[in-house]
Amino acid sequence: MKRILILIFAAVIVLMLLPFIAVKIINGDEGFACILILFYCINPLFILIISIYSGLHIRQLWFVPIICSVIFSVTAFYTAAVILLYSAVYLALGIIFMFVSAFIKKLIKK
Protein backbone atom coordinates (compact mmCIF):
# COMPACT_ATOMS: atom_id res chain seq x y z
CA MET A 1 0.00 0.00 0.00
CA LYS A 2 2.87 2.33 0.79
CA ARG A 3 4.39 1.79 -2.69
CA ILE A 4 1.09 2.59 -4.36
CA LEU A 5 0.65 5.85 -2.45
CA ILE A 6 4.21 6.95 -3.14
CA LEU A 7 3.88 6.25 -6.87
CA ILE A 8 0.52 8.00 -7.15
CA PHE A 9 1.83 10.98 -5.19
CA ALA A 10 4.87 11.18 -7.49
CA ALA A 11 2.59 10.94 -10.54
CA VAL A 12 0.41 13.78 -9.28
CA ILE A 13 3.47 15.95 -8.68
CA VAL A 14 5.13 15.28 -12.03
CA LEU A 15 2.07 15.01 -14.26
CA MET A 16 -0.19 17.63 -12.65
CA LEU A 17 1.78 20.00 -10.46
CA LEU A 18 4.77 20.65 -12.72
CA PRO A 19 2.65 21.73 -15.75
CA PHE A 20 0.51 23.91 -13.48
CA ILE A 21 3.62 25.59 -12.05
CA ALA A 22 5.07 26.03 -15.53
CA VAL A 23 1.91 27.73 -16.76
CA LYS A 24 1.31 29.93 -13.73
CA ILE A 25 4.83 31.03 -12.83
CA ILE A 26 6.67 31.17 -16.14
CA ASN A 27 5.23 33.57 -18.71
CA GLY A 28 5.51 33.80 -22.46
CA ASP A 29 7.78 31.71 -24.58
CA GLU A 30 9.69 30.34 -21.61
CA GLY A 31 6.50 28.77 -20.28
CA PHE A 32 5.80 27.22 -23.67
CA ALA A 33 9.35 25.84 -23.77
CA CYS A 34 8.89 24.35 -20.29
CA ILE A 35 5.67 22.66 -21.33
CA LEU A 36 7.37 21.20 -24.42
CA ILE A 37 10.20 19.88 -22.26
CA LEU A 38 7.64 18.36 -19.91
CA PHE A 39 5.65 16.72 -22.73
CA TYR A 40 8.60 15.40 -24.72
CA CYS A 41 11.26 14.64 -22.08
CA ILE A 42 10.19 14.59 -18.46
CA ASN A 43 6.76 12.95 -18.71
CA PRO A 44 7.86 10.04 -20.96
CA LEU A 45 10.92 9.39 -18.79
CA PHE A 46 8.75 9.46 -15.68
CA ILE A 47 6.27 7.04 -17.24
CA LEU A 48 9.10 4.70 -18.24
CA ILE A 49 10.68 4.74 -14.78
CA ILE A 50 7.34 4.16 -13.05
CA SER A 51 6.47 1.38 -15.50
CA ILE A 52 9.77 -0.41 -15.03
CA TYR A 53 9.30 -0.25 -11.27
CA SER A 54 5.72 -1.48 -11.65
CA GLY A 55 6.96 -4.38 -13.75
CA LEU A 56 9.32 -5.42 -10.98
CA HIS A 57 6.33 -5.60 -8.61
CA ILE A 58 3.67 -6.43 -11.18
CA ARG A 59 1.28 -8.27 -8.86
CA GLN A 60 0.75 -5.21 -6.67
CA LEU A 61 1.37 -2.35 -9.12
CA TRP A 62 -0.10 -3.51 -12.44
CA PHE A 63 -2.54 -0.58 -12.58
CA VAL A 64 -0.04 2.26 -11.98
CA PRO A 65 0.60 2.99 -15.72
CA ILE A 66 -3.16 3.27 -16.21
CA ILE A 67 -3.46 5.70 -13.30
CA CYS A 68 -0.58 7.78 -14.67
CA SER A 69 -2.28 8.00 -18.04
CA VAL A 70 -5.55 9.09 -16.43
CA ILE A 71 -3.76 11.69 -14.29
CA PHE A 72 -2.12 13.09 -17.41
CA SER A 73 -5.49 13.27 -19.20
CA VAL A 74 -7.06 15.14 -16.27
CA THR A 75 -4.18 17.64 -16.30
CA ALA A 76 -5.24 19.08 -19.65
CA PHE A 77 -8.61 20.33 -18.27
CA TYR A 78 -10.18 19.70 -21.66
CA THR A 79 -10.44 16.72 -23.96
CA ALA A 80 -8.40 17.72 -26.96
CA ALA A 81 -7.55 14.97 -29.38
CA VAL A 82 -3.84 15.65 -29.01
CA ILE A 83 -3.92 15.27 -25.23
CA LEU A 84 -5.83 12.01 -25.55
CA LEU A 85 -3.27 10.84 -28.11
CA TYR A 86 -0.41 11.65 -25.72
CA SER A 87 -2.27 9.85 -22.96
CA ALA A 88 -2.72 6.78 -25.15
CA VAL A 89 0.96 6.82 -26.10
CA TYR A 90 1.99 7.14 -22.45
CA LEU A 91 -0.32 4.26 -21.58
CA ALA A 92 1.10 2.09 -24.37
CA LEU A 93 4.68 2.90 -23.35
CA GLY A 94 3.85 2.19 -19.73
CA ILE A 95 2.27 -1.17 -20.41
CA ILE A 96 5.03 -2.26 -22.79
CA PHE A 97 7.83 -1.35 -20.39
CA MET A 98 5.99 -2.84 -17.44
CA PHE A 99 5.69 -6.20 -19.18
CA VAL A 100 9.26 -6.04 -20.50
CA SER A 101 10.66 -5.41 -17.04
CA ALA A 102 8.48 -8.19 -15.58
CA PHE A 103 9.71 -10.55 -18.30
CA ILE A 104 13.36 -9.64 -17.66
CA LYS A 105 12.84 -10.17 -13.93
CA LYS A 106 11.34 -13.58 -14.66
CA LEU A 107 14.30 -14.49 -16.90
CA ILE A 108 16.80 -13.43 -14.28
CA LYS A 109 15.09 -15.55 -11.60
CA LYS A 110 15.52 -18.66 -13.77
Q: What is the pLDDT of residues 23-70, one digit of tens each?
A: 888 888 888 888 889 888 999 999 999 999 999 999 999 999 999 999
Q: What's the chain's average pLDDT?
A: 89
| Amino acid, single-letter form, for residue 30 | E
pLDDT band at 13 (very low <50, low <70, confident <90, very high): very high
CB 56 within 8 A of CB 108: no
Give me the residue spans of the domains in the chain.
2-109
H or E element in which residue 58 lies: helix 58-61
Share of the chain above pLDDT 90, in %: 53
Q: What are the pLDDT digits (tens) for 62-101?
A: 999 999 999 988 877 665 778 888 889 999 999 999 999 9
pTM confidence score: 0.86
Radius of gyration of the chain (CA): 15
Length of the chain: 110
The residue that leads in pLDDT, 103 or 79, is: 103
Angle, alpha carbons 82-93-17 (nearest 5°)? 60
Q: Which of 85, 81, 87 is CA-nearest to residue 67?
A: 87
